[in-house]
Structure 1
Amino acid sequence: MNIFLLFIIILLVVETILAHRGFSYENLGSFCKNNTPHGNPNLLPIETGLPRLIRNIENGSLYQIGIDDDQTWLIHVWGMNGYDYGFAYGTLLNEQINKFIPKTYAYFEKEVMEKLEHLQVPDWFKKIIANKGLAFALDLQNTLVEPYMDKEIYNELQGISDGAKIDYKLLLRIHMFGELTRAHCFYFGAWGKATLGGKTLQLRAFDWDMSADLQAYPVITIYHPRSSKLGHTFTNIAWAGYIGVLSGMSSTLLGMTSIGVEFPDDTFGDESMSGEPFIFVSRHILQYSQTVDDALAYISDVRRTCHLIMGIADGKLNTARMIQYSHSKVNFFDDLNLQPAAEWHPQITNVVYNGMDWLCPSYQYKLYQQIMEQYGHITPESTIQNISAVVKTGDVHVAVYDLSENILYLANGAASNKQGPKQAYQRQFNKLDLKIEYDRKQPSIDVVED
């Protein structure tokens, strides 16, 4: 047997023995026990201007949306394979990728090495990081997940590498970080009686370390497949060079989000370093699933990895689900059986929701209060004004999905050198009609516009 393969098998056995089983309620961090969030409403007007074309190439178009310090890159890519997607993406966002990826990796490396003991990974993996370095550990992480990955993901990363002229291994390592970290985020899916006109709406608020300055390089990517093997058209909301999905929507009226879990209870199963990384599970769902039922079936069958809460809403079936996600267990919740069952997390008809973590009383109850204050007339606008801003969630970005109309509302936090409020929930939102964007045609010549 190959010595390296034997080493991996031994590590996986050790991982199973040492698997993290969760914390008790008494061990919750102070941010979940004692913090009572209350922010000011966001009264800024929503920017509705049309995207501005920057450049076309054969398989890609680059636009900008927004004004002043609240601009976001919007990129369309077309392809017969992942490489086509990646090469167009890398070519159009060359400058942004070469600024963002090395800077972000350096920041992550520093943070990981300084806070190694607090990482939500097995002890054996921490020892590898400490003794062999982060690059070695992330390469090992890729070896553990590679059997479960869609090969077109690797092709896309190679295309970005070639188009942007950036190191392929660096790109790949950036995409392995998701399994090592936990982002504290908020989610709700609302439909029927809860919303104005019975629309299906979803809040995705992404809370993470703003010192990493992810928000300085925001990118909305719209994928247009030219081959059935690439699924259907979908949208990823991320940053320059990042192709995993933390936030996104699809042309089939699905919306995705995920919340990292630091404080599980004993209803969660084990974690594993071996499986399909959750950022690519989410991407697969947006890229290939037609309905929430397809998505839940995929989640049931896939080899899962870490503790998460996933949120999926479906504008066709007019419903939403929350998923308790771990390697060895998965549970699906609707508004009738929503968990955790606690006085600080009451059930709401036609709403599923979670705030900050699995066990996080103060934030979850505050989210409940704001949803109930708007109940029966929840809209994207009221969510922006009176829910995310008042609960103070979504510092890096806030996305509100209108899945009945396929419209995205997005705000990004301020880059470190920008003025005004830092958190996305207090900044101006941009409105993007994805029906129009999904119908855009593939360019055939290079055009530059002032």
Structure 2
Amino acid sequence: MIKTILKYLFRLIWIPTELLFAFIFVLFTIILFSAQIDPPEVPNIHVAERKQVGKDHYILGSSYLKKNKFGIWEMYLEGDPYERGLIYGKLAKELVQEQEDIFVGQINNFLPNKLWRHVIKLMVGFFNSDLPENIPLENQQEIYGISQAFSDRYDYIASNYTRILNYHAAHDIGHALNDYSVVGCTSFTVKGEKSENKQLLVGRNFDFYVGDDFSRNKLIIFVNPTKGYKFTSYSWAGFTGVASGMNEKGLTVTINASKSDLPTSSKMPISLLAREILQYAKNIDEAVAIAKKRSTFVSETLMIASAADKRAVLIEKSPKKLGIYESKSDVLVCANHYQSSTFKKDPENVKNIDQSDSKYRYNRMNQLLGLTPKMNPANAASILRTQTDLNGDTLGMGNPRAINQLQAQHSVVMQPESRLYFVSSNDFQLGTFLGYDLTKTFQTKHIQLVDSIPQDAFVKTPAYQKFKDFKKVKQAISAYLMFNKELNLSEEDIQTFVSNNSESYVTYEQLGKYFQKKGNKKGAYSAFKTALTKRVASPQIEKELKKLMEECRK
């Protein structure tokens, strides 16, 4: 029901594909905020204030936060759950507040009318009132500790604790949007003869896009908890779940969306399940056992690689079923569809494979891995940066069917048996990958950066500058389509926009929608027709373009 309403709404107000995720992410966060949540019981402890010891460098006891020369924030954190949360919040106060400022700004952009926001809250105010029942007390206490650093100026939305807890839940909404081809993560694991050193090698792109500002400040955190295993993960300030991580035992976890209905009741956010696995599992059997005992919001695949087992599996989980898939070869690839026998013939999964962009990225990843005799971190990063289609055919720039869609929040390369963890720096996965040694970091309690992979040469090319110019105009068109922000493109503007990304169907799709809203049906029809001559993201997008052409004939 909710999904049907949203599909109609998207057509009605011209929401462009690349902003669809951000819109629903914001929409459902407003919904989630409607239920005020009581904080957990916590011990009565006092945590001192942080000390600044250098530019962008703070310490508090044995924990600290600093910004490295590549613009990545690094945090080392230890203690009990609530203590960790308090320390985290004090160390990263400005960062967590800035992330919320950006996010609330998105809310105000998408839903500027206060009455409209209030109506949405009333519609499903019951939705998240029982969220704490699905989150372990340890996570609640840590999150509550961090919430002490949140700004009070957004109390009109909800309490600090309610807001941060629901940010974790709202994240899952984006992973329910695979129907719309806007969350397209791709990952792989190789081992044995396919790996240069015969050891496990994991790579993944995390294509979670809520705007450029939201992705600007990235945070790598090394956590030394009093219970469970030490671990690291990479995301943004204030987020305690895991999207991509590794623990001290050499167990790695990454999450990939699969097709799912939008959630209608509270369950455990998938990122917190990934966090629980990372903190409490040392091998695949233990990871599977944890996944089986938890109910989650949406359908998701967790790729688990284990140094102890020297292999990797996919835990494919929906709100109702769980399947396990393991490749018979030395290569395991994951996009946004299921592969296990549990889901292989599931009608929704079959439709997802047929209609989405998942199969294109899956096939291209397999092809690139097949063309690379021996994998190492450098060529893994190169593959994760690939923008072309099968056989190197062009897709233009920013195409959702590309492995590199030029929108990744982050990208990682991991070597579980060596405990090496490489993370991308800005922009997207194009920047330098920084290699951290988990063993040395936790032995010394000082973050050890020991290796790097150079930035992609594409960053310095005229083509990338053209893409950035193209993106500015695309965003202006999106603002016009969504919010009626005034925009009148000249013929020169249009020609430049096209020439900056002429091989992408997105260019002509956007122009077509711009022309259509301006009442220029002939121009819109021509643009949509040209879009169909390019490699579109998926059969679903092809159908939508043909439908738009039909509308232009009326």
Task: Tell me how far apart the structure 2 counterparts of residues 251 and 105 of structure 1 sit (CA, whole Å).
Answer: 36
The 1:378/1:109 distance shift into structure 2, 3 A limit, reads farther
Cα deviation code 1:353-401 (max 9, x no counterpart): 12245522221111111111124x1111110123443532562210111
Cα deviation code 1:177-231 (max 9, x no counterpart): 1232223201112211221121111112111325253321111111112x3xx31
The 1:288/1:272 distance shift into structure 2, 3 A limit, reads farther
Task: Tell me how far apart the structure 1 counterparts of residues 426 and 122 of structure 2 sit (CA, whole Å).
Answer: 29
- 1:425 is paired with a residue whose SS is coil
Is the Cα–Cα contact under 8 Å of residues 313 and 324 in structure 2 kept in the other structure? Answer: yes
- C-alpha RMSD of matched pairs (Å): 3.1
**Once the 2 structures are TM-superposed, how far is the Cα of residue 162 of structure 1 from its aligned partner?**
2.1
The 1:161/1:300 distance shift into structure 2, 3 A limit, reads closer
- 2:76 is paired with a residue whose SS is strand
Task: Tell me how far apart the structure 1 counterparts of residues 429 and 117 of structure 2 sit (CA, whole Å).
Answer: 37
2:60 maps to which of 52, 57, 61: 57
The match for 1:45 is none
The match for 1:435 is 439
The letter for the 2-side match of 1:237 is Y
The match for 1:145 is 131
The match for 1:407 is 420
- 2:148 is paired with a residue whose SS is helix
Cα deviation code 1:109-150 (max 9, x no counterpart): 755x59xxxxxxxxxxxxxx977435985x744423321211
The letter for the 2-side match of 1:173 is N
- 2:85 is paired with a residue whose SS is helix
1:176 aligns with 2:188: no
- 2:439 is paired with a residue whose SS is helix
Identity of aligned residues (%): 19
In structure 2, runs of 5+ residues without a counterpart are 3-16, 19-54, 153-159, 176-182, 339-352, 388-402, 448-554
1:290 maps to which of 282, 290, 305: 282
Cα deviation code 1:43-102 (max 9, x no counterpart): xxxxxxxxx99222125211333x3xx3211111111x2111111111111111111123
2:145 maps to which of 152, 156, 159: 159
Is the Cα–Cα contact under 8 Å of residues 204 and 384 in structure 2 kept in the other structure? Answer: no
The match for 1:241 is 238
Is the Cα–Cα contact under 8 Å of residues 59 and 84 in structure 1 kept in the other structure? Answer: no
Pair member with larger Rg = 2
Is the Cα–Cα contact under 8 Å of residues 275 and 304 in structure 1 kept in the other structure? Answer: yes
The 1:244/1:106 distance shift into structure 2, 3 A limit, reads farther
1:397 aligns with 2:377: no
The match for 1:83 is 82
The match for 1:189 is 189
2:317 maps to which of 325, 332, 355: 325
Cα deviation code 1:237-275 (max 9, x no counterpart): 11011111111111111111111123x7xxxx9966332
The match for 1:101 is 100
Structure with the higher fraction of residues in helix conformation: 2
Task: Tell me how far apart the structure 2 counterparts of residues 442 and 142 of structure 1 sit (CA, whole Å).
Answer: 39
Structure with the higher fraction of residues in strand conformation: 1
The match for 2:363 is 365
- 1:198 is paired with a residue whose SS is coil
1:426 aligns with 2:404: no
Query: Scaled by the length of structure 2, what TM-score is found?
Result: 0.58
Is the Cα–Cα contact under 8 Å of residues 223 and 233 in structure 1 kept in the other structure? Answer: yes
Is the Cα–Cα contact under 8 Å of residues 188 and 354 in structure 1 kept in the other structure? Answer: yes
Is the Cα–Cα contact under 8 Å of residues 370 and 387 in structure 1 kept in the other structure? Answer: no
The match for 1:4 is none
- 2:297 is paired with a residue whose SS is coil
Task: Tell me how far apart the structure 2 counterparts of residues 156 and 135 of structure 1 sit (CA, whole Å).
Answer: 29
The letter for the 1-side match of 2:369 is I
